[in-house]
Amino acid sequence: MTRRVSARFWVASGPEGLLQGGAFTGTRLMEGSNRANEGTPGGRLPPAWLWGGGMTLAAGLTVAVALWVAGCQRGSGRVTPLAAEDAAGARVTRWEPKPLPVPAAAEPEVAASGSGVAGEKTSAKPARAEASSRQRGAARATGSGTAEPRELEVAADWLNVRMAPGLDATRTGRLPQGTRVEVLGEQELSDGRRWVRVAYGGAKGVRRIGWVAGEHLAPPTGPEVSGGGVDEAGDSGERPDFGPFADLHYDPLPKRNYRRNPRIDARGLYVTRRTAQSERMAELVRLARETDVNALVIDFKDDEGWLLTRSEAARRHNPEANRRAAFEDLRPWLQRLRDEGLYLIARIVTFKDPVFARRHPERTILDRRTGRTFRSRDGLRWASPHDPLFRRYNLELAEEAAALGFNEVQFDYVRFPDVPKSADLDYRNPKGESKAAAIQSFLLEARKRLEPRQVYVAADVFGLVCTTVDDMRIGQYWEAISNAADYICPMMYPSHYGPMNYGLPVPDRKPYEVLAAGIRDCLRRNGRIATPAEVRPWIQGFTATWVKGHIDYGPAQIQAQMRALADHGIKSWLLWNPANRYEAAALKNCPGVAD
């Protein structure tokens, strides 16, 4: 017997930490809500109520479906991959996400001479068709490359180095002609193209590993050329080559340690707006008192655009945002937290703001294919990061958070939406400003406004921003953000890295190795500018049940991430769990605290 079932499922599914959702139609999960942070994010599947709407199911399967949905609750990514597309072109969110979106587009593999990104091919041999992620997944190993000499050299003018085999893998650098590389292994993709895993001497003698197209390697012929890739330029004391991002602001900016608000090695927990107004807040304060936690990251404006407290900025620009404010006056509540010795960080979800977008449709990002406001894969609307009023609204919220007594304002979703290159969006950008310039100028303005109040500026970025050589098409170029902010917070959740990122088949199973590789890239990139932000990563505090081959994340896995950071001199971190469930055992005797 078949009957129509209407059911509601409550799922905490967000790196942003709120509750978001989507709808089930038949057996297909349509555009839900996902965010890592960043997500969360990033990283940071973002928050929302998850509705089971109109499912046609056999009555006997109802319990099974409920259990399946509950399985998605335990952890979530702050930054989720691009939504897949079905045959009809409708976007469909699937529960086995691909790796993080990468900046690669259809391109030849040989990098253009004199630029910071891959360009037109410079060798005589034509490049083969690009290999897709699906093809890369079907790649077959061909051993350790015993048929080749152990040492080869780059035969093209410039050769891209990638994190994994395939033209759509993240670029991590480029090598000039004549660079000697050590062959570590090979893979042949289903399109017949051969990729070689190589080691080479990077800047300052650091040995680096990556994948290159095998057709552009040859036996050594002449004297060795030392090369480390365009992303390592500047170690010789010369101005780094920032490529297409050279017009951004890299001049030194003083990074102060305020007398009334001294910097600390913050070890923080994420707190949602809902948790902040519940009795569970007392549990988190007690947990901090009994462990090494000394900071809280609290939603001031959440993923859906709702505010923690009533706001004058919202009254002027976006009155509806005050409707669900948890507090009329936040000061007494914040004072109690300060009395506990806690460092308080106001998290503002910046450019994804459905409440503002509903009130100001003329200021939103427009999808030209539909003529309507763009919605990300979580179904939420984005306003344009170029829009002056929207920027002013977020900046005024930051000023209010500073005036209330927060030590720091952290801008999350301080980026453009991560969409396929084929997306046809109108960002309402009459001045032709680049994405990276829009993001950096916003953070510079925030800095200008908060500095007189002695409050720090932090920015959340995708975990791969520290590794890729461009802005990932979302406006997050590492050096530009690091120069503008006091703290830069890469969302380095191991579950959010795809197969063979950093050479790891299942990065989720290697929390130490992922964090160690990522933090090395962060520090290397910071070394390219005079006044970088302090690096304070987000780390994974949830189990990524959707990742094939995942492991449970408990105290050992959480502290493995902390140990990787401490081993590289980083004693500050933020722990992301979308449901705000934290184990005391993971937060006592933390690596780096007593070292």
Based on C-alpha coordinates, what's the Rg of the chain? Answer: 24
The two beta strands, 295-301 and 267-271, are parallel
Does residue 268 register a pLDDT over 50? Answer: yes
Closest listed residue to residue 22, CA positions, set 122, 90, 118, 89 = 90
Least confident of 25-39, 63-77, 291-305, 491-505: 25-39
Average pLDDT over residues 16-42: 32
For the segment 443-456, what is each residue's pLDDT rounded down to a tens digit? Answer: 999 999 999 999 99
Report pLDDT digits (tens) over 205-253: 556 778 899 999 999 876 665 444 444 433 444 578 899 999 999 999 9
Query: Which residue shows structure tokens 């990729």?
Result: 195
The reported pLDDT for the residue numbered 84 is 29
pLDDT band at 39 (very low <50, low <70, confident <90, very high): very low
CA atoms within 13 A on the CB side of 338: 12
Q: How confident is the model at residue 76 (pLDDT cuts 50, 70, 90)?
A: very low
b/e map of 392-408 (b: 16 or more CB within 10 Å)?
Answer: ebbbbbbbbbbebbbbb
How many other β-carbons are positioned within 10 Å of the β-carbon of residue 356?
26
Average pLDDT, the chain: 78
Higher per-residue confidence, 68 vs 391 = 391
The predicted model scores a pTM of 0.68
pLDDT in tens, 178-204: 888 999 888 888 788 899 988 887 554
64 vs 241: CA distance, rounded Å: 55
Domains parsed from the chain with CATH numbers: 2-92 (no CATH), 101-231 (no CATH), 267-353+394-421+433-586 (3.20.20.80)
Cα separations in angstroms, 375 against 95, 239, 282, 593: 19, 40, 36, 42
Position 20 pLDDT exceeds 60: no
Half-sphere exposure (Cβ direction) of 561: Cα atoms closer than 13 Å? 32
Q: Where residue 280 falls among pLDDT bands split at 50, 70, 90?
A: very high
The Cα–Cα gap between 61 and 55 comes to: 11
Maximum average pLDDT range among 96-100, 140-144, 585-589: 585-589
Q: Is the pLDDT of residue 74 over 50?
A: no
More confident residue, 586 or 53: 586
Here the tokens at position 101 are 């979106």
